Amino acid sequence: MSIETLTSAVRNIPDFPIPGIQFKDITTLFQSASHLKELSEILYERYKNKGITKVVGIESRGFFMGPAVATRLGAGFVPIRKPGKLPYKVIEETYTKEYGEDIIQIHEDALTKEDVVLLHDDLLATGGTMAAAYNLVKKLGVKKIYINFLIELEELNGMKHFPKDVEVSSVIKF
């Protein structure tokens, strides 16, 4: 299988969730056992020698591949969620998305200064969500952060939000 095969399996949904947005539906990737296996293999190969101790997935589509990759890497999984979803003490970050403002939270004790973190989400568009997640993880004082997306919308230039010394990668680029 190839990146081109995975790319062609992504379904476009026009005007979702609001008019003018071309939504990239990745559920089609997860419905296929071979596509799912290929994604898992690509992510494992990319991060297997990085010393990852925690994979941090962003609600909600970062929860699809995040735990699977964490299991393959022998790492823990930490969720970043919207307000009111985490039961313990949290820290939070407010950010602007392409169609509004939002808040995300993480448990204040989810990560330590010894953790090497892979921050994972499904899509890099304008970068606001991951930039907020990066800021949250950074506040917890981890050793190193890697950032990964399944899909990157290159024309929206979301990469500009991340420091040059942080390795940021995506599997599929549109």
**Residue 163, token pair as written in the block:** 């420091």
Which one of 61, 81, 93, 152 is the catalytic residue? 61
Sign of the dihedral through C-alpha 31, 32, 35, 36? positive
CA 118, CA 10: separation in Å to the nearest integer?
23
Catalytic: which of 46, 59, 72, 98?
A: 98
Is residue 98 annotated as a catalytic residue, yes or no? yes
Structure tokens at 14: 């026009």
**What sign has the CA pseudo-torsion 161, 164, 168, 169?**
positive
Cα–chain center distance at 38 = 17
Distance CA(168)–CA(174), nearest Å, equals 16
Whether 72 sits among the annotated catalytic residues: the reply is no
The answer for residues whose C-beta is within 8 angstroms of residue 27's C-beta and 6 or more apart is: 11
**Alpha carbons 155 and 13: distance in angstroms, whole number:** 18
Q: Annotated active-site positions, please? A: 61, 98
